[in-house]
Amino acid sequence: MSARIIPFAYEGQAVRFNADGWINATEAATRFGKLPHEWLRLPETVAYLEALAKCGKIPQLVRTQRGRNGGTWLHPKLAVAFARWLSVDFAVWCDDQIDALLRGDQSTWQQARQQSAVGYRGLCDALAFACEESGKTPQRHHFINEARLINLVITGQFAGRDRDQLTAHELVLVSLIEIRDVLLIGQGKDFAARKSSLLRYIQSLRAKHLRSDAA
């Protein structure tokens, strides 16, 4: 599947589509304790697939992919009907996401992705300058560990992440943490002090988000 994978957040969890509007049905169904093949075997689903096949306009409606972003993927012609089988509310939400994708309305995600990329370049510049000021030569592991620190603060895991797989909300969090980290580096804070400060900062951001949702 060559189209770029785009994660959207539904009730705090990622649901992956691709840029052509296909949905990762395996991932979506797991949220509701179901499996895609259960829906695909329903008599009404079989009849619908046969009717679409007669039109001959869509050569493929169901794809199975292994490895990264693996699972059963459904064409947008099937996605909303499948989502309705999982949950009516989820179906309405999926319809909105697919409509936005097919219209090419991905500006929010793209802006957040670009902002996080700019933020990371600024973070690398600040880190390199701090190393040079202390008489050290910036090394690749310095930048890798700082990126992993950002991920640790947000996810609890000191590991790399593919930012193209993050939701717009997650990318905004990344940008905010990067900006705060640059300030801490400029203040001469060491790695442990930055970690402690950033963990407090993410807690305050999440508390504000919860208060905003409750308002």
What DSSP state is assigned to residue 134? T
The ranges assigned to domains in the chain are 5-103, 107-214
pTM: 0.54
What DSSP state is assigned to residue 187? T
pLDDT tens digits along 87-99: 999 999 898 888 8
Q: Which helix (H) or strand (E) holds 9?
A: strand 5-10
pLDDT at position 51 is: 87
**Whether the predicted pLDDT of 108 surpasses 70:** no
177-181 long-range CB contacts below 8 Å, 24 or more apart?
A: 177/150, 177/153, 177/201, 177/202, 178/116, 178/119, 178/120, 178/122, 178/123, 178/150, 179/119, 179/122, 181/123, 181/126, 181/146, 181/149, 181/150
What DSSP state is assigned to residue 151? H
How much is the average pLDDT of 150-176?
85
**Whether the predicted pLDDT of 204 surpasses 80:** yes
CA atoms within 13 Å, Cβ hemisphere of 66: 0
More confident residue, 107 or 73: 73
pLDDT tens digits along 4-22: 787 777 876 778 888 888 9
Of the pLDDT bands very low, low, confident and very high (cuts 50, 70, 90), residue 215 is very low
Residue that the structure tokens 């619908």 belong to:
48
